[in-house]
Structure 1
Amino acid sequence: MVMLMIVVAYHTILLILLSISLYHLRQHRPLMSLRRVVAALYLIGMIALIGTTGVAVAAGRFHAIRYLAYVVFVYIPLLLLGLSVLYGKRQWRWSTGYALVSLVIIAIGIYAFFIEPWQLETNRFVIYTPKIERRLRIAIVADLQTDAVGTYEENALRRVLSGHPDLILMTGDYIQQHHWDDYHREGRRLNAILKRIDFRAPLGVYAVQGDTDKL
């Protein structure tokens, strides 16, 4: 409940600040210099930094990074699009420039949030050592760092099994949830997937905890 209140307050403050900034710039359109635009961006950035600090205290640093990303990929592009509209046809070069920069940031955000995280990649390395007499295939699962266990995590674990490893090592940082109940809810979902896909290897599966994992 506390986290929900912080998130709502965070977005509400930024939306109000964005509206005030655009209104102020509209009222001073003849004087709408680059200095005023930079000042508006600076103000939004400072409020976002303060809000992000609050989120970090309440929910951990990874959640704070997420909400800071909202500023970069949502609120700043909205401000730039608003500036593009305010400049209009009278100063079409500035208007076009702000619109293009905004669209580039939005495109990067779409790729970062909705495309790249779902691109599952497998890395393979060959290590030679005289200490092992036969070929041994070892799979390492590290840093799932998920806040919602689902299809992607199941596909990743199935990908591990598809390589027919002799040994599986799980090196921690499986779930990224700050609150105890949320963490254990996702932990139960992860355990259910491991049982459903029969996650095992001939020489065993060994797991340790990471700094985000809770007993």
Structure 2
Amino acid sequence: MKNSEITDAVILSAGFSSRMKSHKAFLYFENKKTFLEKIIGTYTEAGIKNIFVVINSEIESKAKDVLSGFHRNIRIRLILNESPEKGRFFSIRQGLQKSEGDFCFLQNIDNPFISAHLLTEMLNVVKDNSYVVPAFYEKEGHPLLLSSQIVKYLLSLTEDSHHLRKELSNFEKIKLQCMNEGILTNINSVEDYKKYFFYL
């Protein structure tokens, strides 16, 4: 397994969640844990200690409150995206700018059904100049695990209109087959949330 000590994670949470009753980061997952707490907890369980959360100004104060509950040995930093209207790729680059690890996970806040086992398996197969994507019966999901070479390449792109998947096609893709259908699940609306949870 690649050393989790030299692997970072970027959690993308700068959107405004306009189709939800509250921001996705603070939706409840289980045991009164929010999506943000659950996702961070899963990464720390997998040994990832450098975590960067890209947020917008509307949730900055509440996000700080959530993060105050984590142990100080875990390095969690909030990255304020002051221009979320610039789109997803802009948020990605803001998070990746802080990554100094050999590898970096890219995690969406609305894909909470991850496990420490999945993250460990992804670390087992990643290589330099490559990225790992989990797949359920060949259908690709989330999160992604990027090598530092890919991170540097993405940061070299100056336009915010780039599409991540298109840019990743320049590198080797390692598809990791897994039996966790949750890697395909995006919680984008109240209806999506109600399929899995009963808190709304």
* TM-score between both structures, scaled by the size of structure 2: 0.22
More helix by share: 1
More strand by share: 2
Larger Rg: 1
